[in-house]
Amino acid sequence: MRGIDTNILLRAVLDDDPVQSPKAAAFLLGLNTTNPGFVPLPVTLELYWVLKTRYRLSSEAIIVFLTRLFATSTIHFAEIESLVEAVRHVTVRKADFSDAVIAILARRAGCAATMTFDEKAVARVPAMELLA
């Protein structure tokens, strides 16, 4: 198994660099179930953030892309259950992906709630509470 950094996923999906994009795509296509790739949690969060802010993709488009990636048998994602649950929050409640992941991980760690000053997050992520 080999770890995968954000820039590998970005170059492969965006096909925006004549040198790096083909290398990234070939690497990902070369993965298999006996030699899979591994995506750490910060990479997934960074991937979402970069696609949203730098490339200005809609949350819906990013969620479709992530859902397809999550279904790939040759790439394993850290905290996949939490990521899938966060996708549901984005899809159903229009939550921010990172806010949802933060609250879900805190809940799974035994926290009663995740405290925040972000009123929008509180309205869209059930496990978040406003610190007033």
- Say what the pLDDT of residue 132 is: 87
Q: Which residues are CB-contacts of 49 (< 8 A; sequence separation ≥ 6)?
A: 98
Phi/psi region, residue 42 (left: phi>0; alpha: psi -120 to 50; beta: rest), is alpha
pLDDT tens per residue, range 51-94: 999 999 999 999 999 999 999 999 999 999 999 999 999 999 99
Cβ–Cβ < 8 Å for 51, 45: no
CATH number of residue 55's parent domain: 3.40.50
Question: How many folded domains does the chain comprise?
Answer: 1
Report yes or no on whether pTM surpasses 0.85: yes
Residue 118 has pLDDT above 90, yes or no: yes
- Say what the pLDDT of residue 27 is: 98
What range defines the domain where residue 35 resides? 2-130
Q: Which residues are CB-contacts of 60 (< 8 A; sequence separation ≥ 6)?
A: none
